Amino acid sequence: MTSLPKTTGKKLGLVTDLDICVGCHACAVSCKEWNAGGHSAPLTDTNAYGKDPSGVWFNRVHVYETDDGENTRTVNFPRSCLHCEQPACVTVCPTGASYKREEDGIVLVDAEKCIGCKLCSWACPYGAREYDADDGVMKKCTLCIDRIYNENLEESERQPACVIACPARARHFGDLGDPDSNISRLVERRGGYALMPETGYQPVNRYLPPRARKDQAGDTGTADHLDAAENVDSGHSFFNWLDKALSR
Amino acid sequence: MDPAYSVILFTSSSGAGYGLLIWLAFTRLSGAWALSPMVAVIGCLVALALITTGLLSSTFHLGHPERAWRAMSQWRTSWLSREGVFAILTYPAALVFTAGWIWDAVPPIAMTLAASATLILSLVTVISTGMIYACLKTIPRWHNRWVVPVYLAMAIASGGLLFTLVLAASSAARQQTLILVMVVLLISWMTKWAYWRFIDRQEPASTTGTATGLGHLGTVSQLEAPHTSENYLLKEMGFSIARKHATKLRRMALNLGLLLPGIMLVLAGMSNGFAQLVLLSAALVLGLAGIVVERWLFFAEARHAVTLFYGRSL
């Protein structure tokens, strides 16, 4: 059913910390590894060892350079489905294969109903959906629905594969609809933001902006500047004489 | 956007088909032209054949054509689904309308109702086709007020070129009528011209800086792509052609779609019989070729928001 639920019980989603992401692609690779055997399996690769490999991935890590005229910065930027509250990818679907779950807000594709018209991928500005030409259906991030509720896994492992894999702890998973959840507090504290709010799709996922750079002496809490050594008065005439003598 | 040939063929072919149905239904309701009933039936069947060709062609680009029937179900939210529903609903109305020209079992009131339904459903189907594109906020060159009028105008104009053949075969292709079709053709390409002017002046609302939310750090450019070769997103949404290429193709579309068919219509107005039929056929073929070029450009020139993440601009 492509009509959207009025509200969802939870708003499960991811928070990505752009300040500490090191761009190692572990999240993307781990996602591929889990999901190649998960809910939307297989994630087809074509010509995987050839000259022009391509394949379905749910997570892509971009690297951007920002330049303010004086300084440049490198920002690693993982991009995946944001599980929007008003997802146009769902409402444009003609078959009802795309849907948003009422209980937790996860956006999924029913591979049995999908006709592979690709319109949902056109409707998504975030590039979250990738078509599997082999299966003839659209595929997307499931927020590891087969992990987060999986009672065969240890409770600590009931998180999306990308979150568990991140060696820098740059990824967080939780209920962004609950203002008291750890993840919501983190977003609040760090000024987390949604991507492209102008679309009106109201993404659930948030990105934590890179922290302000501390490249001036005063930025780290030390003195703005240090006095030159020769001006230092040790308070003892012998050491002052020694300092002078050695400075010659 | 990748110009998929199946979709270009679908929108051009079914657009012309619905356009012809619109002219035929209007003729029946208004009595503006005296058509030979048998020719009108053939016209209706040609229109339905074009529509059916288009619909079948549109299923070629599906991953699972055998599930196409499911696309009728989500008319509450999806313009693609609505288009499917209206397209299917047009068939029974158009079939009764077709039969009514020659079959006495169809009472006049039923014929009037069928003609009205055919007229309205054809219009609504073409509008739905336009809305599939116009509703996508991700593609600014589609998400604007000109897209639906262009689809509608092109359908009526190409249907008009087909209709001149129906008139000629009924020996009713008078000069005034050909002038009317020329005016409709001119209006359709003026609408397209307005669309081109609009998209050329459009200021991009989003950039890589706003899309990533990193703009406050300065100019944002892509340092390293997430993958080493093209993926689905770049093949489907990242299709790009050079600007000067686009200008040439626009001129070509105008020549094929407006100028040459216009000349053919003028010449047809001055001739009759077989020569007129040949000239009107030439006008039709050229006009359709112009629409195919125009439709190809509609896709090729459209830029998708996801390309912002790849450091491109809208």
CB contact under 8 A, B67 and A113: yes
Domain ranges of chain A: 12-214
Compare CB distances from A54 to B64, B213, B231 and report the shortest one's residue: B231
Query: How does the average pLDDT of chain A come out, rounded?
Result: 93
How is domain A12-214 classified at the CATH fold level? Alpha-Beta Plaits (3.30.70)
Regarding an ipTM greater than 0.90, the answer is yes
Indicate the range of A9-23, B36-50, B230-244 predicted with least confidence. B230-244
Count of A–B CB contacts within 8 Å? Answer: 203
Interatomic CA distance for residues B173 and B165, integer angstroms = 8
The pLDDT-based confidence of B242 (bands split at 50, 70, 90) is: low
Give how far Cα A179 sits from Cα of A174, A189, B94, Å.
11, 12, 57
* Residue B20 near residue B46, CB atoms below 8 Å: yes
Judge contact between A183 and A193, C-beta under 8 A: no
Question: What class, spelled out in words, does domain B5-310 have in CATH?
Answer: mainly alpha
Q: How far is A10 from chain B (nearest CA, A)?
A: 23
Q: What value, to the nearest 5°, has the Cα angle with vertex A9 and ends A7 and A11?
A: 85
pLDDT in tens, A160-181: 999 999 999 999 999 999 999 9
Q: Do A64 and B78 make contact, defined as CB atoms within 8 angstroms? A: no
Contact A136 B232 (CB under 8 A): no
Q: Which of B1, B135, B219 sits opposite A67 (nearest CB)?
A: B219
Contact residues on chain A for B229, CB-CB shorter than 8 A: 52-54
Give the separation between CA B44 and CA B37, rounded to whole angstroms.
Answer: 10
| pLDDT mean over A104-116 | 97
**Chain A partners of B205 at a C-beta cutoff of 8 Å?**
198
The answer, for B224 touching chain A at a CB cutoff of 8 Å, is yes
In which band, very low, low, confident or very high, does the pLDDT at B243 lie, cut at 50, 70 and 90? low
CB contact burial B202-235 (16+ within 10 A = b; e otherwise):
eeeebbbbbbbbbeebbebebbebbbeeebbbbe
User: Is B108 an 8 Å CB contact of chain A?
Assistant: no
Candidates A71, A109, A114, A122, partner chain B, best to mutate (most B CBs within 10 A) = A122
Say how far apart CA A51 and CA A54 lie, in whole Å: 10
Mean pLDDT of the region A208-229 = 79
Give the pLDDT of residue B245: 85
